[in-house]
Structure 1
């Protein structure tokens, strides 16, 4: 008799979600580098550098949150346990929204 194991469809879906987190991380990384090095006309130097560094920090955070979430889901699937809470996902979404609002404010107000 075969031991209980998660359905492959759920495992593959979890892996696709993990890869989406990694794509998000790479996008934030590219955006942070571009903000610091490729858009000198965007606001002032300290605003551009600060926003770029925040994007780079979010890139690291996205990779770590994605890895943590994938491990939690994988463990839940293997044990047949409920899916983990999404508190860290909400926090990540709120932080991204706040960074976006800050970028919009700086863009609308022009050079600060």
Structure 2
């Protein structure tokens, strides 16, 4: 194998490795965005409960915000785990 082809192969390998690393970091940023949004919804729900304790429609809205916030956080973490497992499988298969 000529030296030129060996260098291209190693560069592709490095390129693939860096692409997986960028994808991993993007997955982390996405999970953090999910969690930030979830915490905002939960905080909004708690705030509505504190500010309007005697109004039924505000209590319903705040409970909805709490439920959606918790669900969104769980979805974000689950998605992160799935993408991380797929990346690990891809990286283990290429080595």
TM-score, normalisation: structure 2: 0.69
Q: In structure 1, which of residues 67, 71, 94 is the aligned counterpart of residue 77 of structure 2?
A: 67
1:66-107 Cα deviation digits (max 9, x unpaired): 111001111112223xxxxxxxxxxxxxxxxxxxxxxxxxxx
Question: Tell me, what secondary structure is at the counterpart of 1:7?
Answer: helix
State how 1:2-17 maps to structure 2 within 5 Å: 7-17=20-30
State how 1:71-110 maps to structure 2 within 5 Å: 71-80=81-90
* Residue 45 (structure 1) aligned with residue 58 (structure 2): no
> Runs of at least 4 residues of structure 1 off by over 4 A?
none
Residue 52 of structure 1 and its aligned partner are, at CA, apart by 0.3
For 1:11 and 1:73, the matched residues in 2 are separated by 8
More helix by share: 2
For 1:7 and 1:64, the matched residues in 2 are separated by 24
Larger Rg: 2
* Residue 31 (structure 1) aligned with residue 41 (structure 2): no
Q: In structure 1, which of residues 55, 62, 81 is the aligned counterpart of residue 65 of structure 2?
A: 55
Q: Structure 1: where are the runs of 5+ without partners?
A: 81-112
